[in-house]
Amino acid sequence: MNDKEVQRKAASGAVRLSSGRPERQLPGLAQLAICPAQLAGRFPVDIFEGIETDVIIGEKSARDPLTLMAPLFIPGSPYGEVGKSARLAFAYGSALAGVAFGTGEGGVLPEEQEICRQFHGKSVISWGPARHGVTPDLLKSGDAVVIELFGHGRGCSTGLWRQERTTEAQAKLWGMPQGMDWVIPPAHLDMEFPEDLRQHVALLRELTDHRVPILAKLGASHVHEEVKVAIESGVDAVWLEALESPLYGAPEVIVEEAGLPLLSLFGPARRAFEETGAREKGVRLLVSGGLGDGGEVFKALALGADAVGLPEAARVAIGCSEGGGGNCHSGKCPAGIATTDPRLEAKLDWKAAGQSLANYLTALNDEVKLLAAATGHTTVRGLSSEDLRALTYDAAALTGIKLAGYERVLPMWMH
C-alpha cells in the first residue's frame, strides 16, 4: 500500500493516468544467461562468415511475404499520440534498417507513404477495435495487416481520445468528426466470439487478394489458450505484447497490473505452437515489451520468438529522454516526440532522428549476430532454449529452460 496514493485518491476521487512501463519489479531476461558454444554439440562460428538474421513472415500464405532484414520491428504509435516528426523518423529509420514499422490506429501520413516508396519501407497497418482512420485503400497499401485484439489499455478498459487532445490535422487524417471524444471500444464490435478471429483473417485476406501477411496482436494474458486460437484462425504471425510494453495515457492501475511479464510468455507460447504444428505452417512468434539491447533480443529469440518489437527503445533512439515513458500523455513532450504541438514538434529533425534509429537497429542486430556466432549458429533461426540457462529457480519455472547448476529442466516441465 502506498499511503500517498491513498491520500491522493481520497482527495480527488479520480483514477490516475500514466504513461510508460510498470514501475514494480518484474522477473526479467536478466535472470537468464547465454551459453557460448564449445564442445557440447557445436563450436563457435566465425562472425566474418556471415550470420543470417533475416525473418520472413507469411511465406506460406501471402503472395508478398514480409521480409525483415533483422529480427526487429517498430510497433505503431498513432498519429496524435506522437507527432508527425516522430512518425516520419520511425518510418525512415526502420526503412534504412530494412525492418518494418507499425502504423498504429488512425491512418498513415502521405509523407510516410512517400518514405516507404523512396526507401523501400515496410508498413504494418493496424486493424484495431476502433477502426478510426481505416479504409480499404489503407489496408491494401501496407506490407502486412495486424489485427489488434485489444483496444486502449490492453483491452481492460474503454479508451478515449478526448476532444481537448485531438487536432484538426489528426481529425483529417483519421477521417473523424471534431467536437466530440473518439471512443476506443475494449474489443472489436464485429467479433462476437473468439473464433470470429478466423473471419477477420479471411476478410483481410480477401480484401488484400491474399497479397500480404495477416498478424494477430494479443496482450499477454491466457497465453497458451489464446495463442492456439490465433494460430487456428490462420494468421501468419502471433504478436504477444508483454506487461513491460509501455502504455500512454492509460489508467495507472492498468499500466502496473494488467498482463503478464515477458519472461512468462515463452513457455506457453512454445507449447501452443507445438500442439498446433504452427512452425510447419510457417507461423511466426513476435514479442514486444521491455527489450532494448542485443542480449535481451538474443534471449527472446532463443526462447522461441522470431522477431521482437521495440516500442520504447525506438522512442529513446530518436531522442526521448524519459526512457520511452514519463509524461507522454500530457502532449507537452520536450523532445518533440509525443506531441502534435508544432512548436515542440519542430525540435525533432525527423531525418536525423530516423538515422539515429537506423544506427541503433544496426548495432542491435550486430550484437545479436555476435551472440549467435558465440553460441555456434550461422542463423538466428537455429537458436534454441539450449543456448540459455536460467539463473534463478523462478526463471526456470517460468520459462521451462534448464536451471544453471542443476543443468536440467525443472520436473514440472517434464510432462
Partner 1 sequence: MPETKLSRTEDINRAIRKMVELGEPAPVSGLKGHDTIAVGMPSGAVVQVSGNAGDFFGALNDGGTLTLNGDAGRFAGDLMTAGELILNGDAMWGVGQYMRGGRIMVKGDCKGPAGQLMKSGIIIIDGNVGREVGKYMMGGQIIVNGNTGERAGENMMGGAIFVKGEVRSLGLNARLSKPTIEDLETLRYFHKQYRFRALHDDEAFNDFQKITAESPRPLVGEAPK
Q: Which of 3, 49, 164, 407 binds partner 1 (CB under 8 A)?
A: 164
Q: Which of 99, 130, 303, 371 binds partner 1 (CB under 8 A)?
A: 130
- Which region, judged by CB under 8 A, interacts with partner 1, from 37-45, 81-89, 160-168, 395-403? 160-168
- Smallest separation (angstroms) from partner 1 to the CB of 314: 29
Closest CA to 262 of 230, 236, 285: 285
Residues 78-117: x/- map of binding to partner 1 (CB under 8 A)? ----------------------------------------
**Cβ contacts of residue 96 below 8 Å, gap of 6+?**
119, 354, 355, 357, 358
Distance, CA of 370 to CA of 221 (rounded, Å): 33
Is 46 among the residues that bind partner 1 (CB under 8 A)?
no
Is 17 among the residues that bind partner 1 (CB under 8 A)?
no
Is 158 among the residues that bind partner 1 (CB under 8 A)?
yes
Is 183 among the residues that bind partner 1 (CB under 8 A)?
yes
Closest CA to 255 of 244, 264, 265, 263: 244
- Which region, judged by CB under 8 A, interacts with partner 1, from 186-194, 269-277, 294-302, 371-379? 186-194
Q: Return the C-alpha cell found at 189.
A: 464490435
Using the Cα atoms of residue 293, residue 296, residue 301 and residue 305 in order, give the sign of their dihedral. negative
Rank residues 30 and 160 by Cβ distance to partner 1 and give the closer one.
Answer: 160
Is 167 among the residues that bind partner 1 (CB under 8 A)?
no
Rank residues 48 and 193 by Cβ distance to partner 1 and give the closer one.
Answer: 193
Q: Are 380 and 368 in contact (CB under 8 A)?
A: yes
Rank residues 45 and 156 by Cβ distance to partner 1 and give the closer one.
Answer: 156
Q: Are 285 and 237 in contact (CB under 8 A)?
A: yes
Is 13 among the residues that bind partner 1 (CB under 8 A)?
no
Q: Is 118 exposed, middle or buried (0-12, 13-18, 19+ CB in 10 A)?
A: exposed
Query: Cα dihedral angle (81, 85, 90, 91), rounded to 10 degrees?
Result: 120
Q: Which of 24, 25, 49, 137 binds partner 1 (CB under 8 A)?
A: 137
Q: Are 300 and 242 in contact (CB under 8 A)?
A: no
**Helix, strand, or coil (residue 34):** strand
Q: Which of 17, 109, 169, 203 binds partner 1 (CB under 8 A)?
A: 203
Is 185 among the residues that bind partner 1 (CB under 8 A)?
yes
Q: How many residues sit close enough to partner 1 to count as binding (CB under 8 A)?
A: 33
Helix (H) or strand (E) holding 405: none
Helices 84-97 & 350-374 angle (0-180, nearest 10): 40
Residues of the shown chain interacting with partner 1 in the complex, contacts defined by CB under 8 A: 130-131, 134-137, 139-140, 158, 160, 162-164, 175-177, 179-183, 185, 189-190, 192, 196, 199, 202-203, 206-207, 209-210
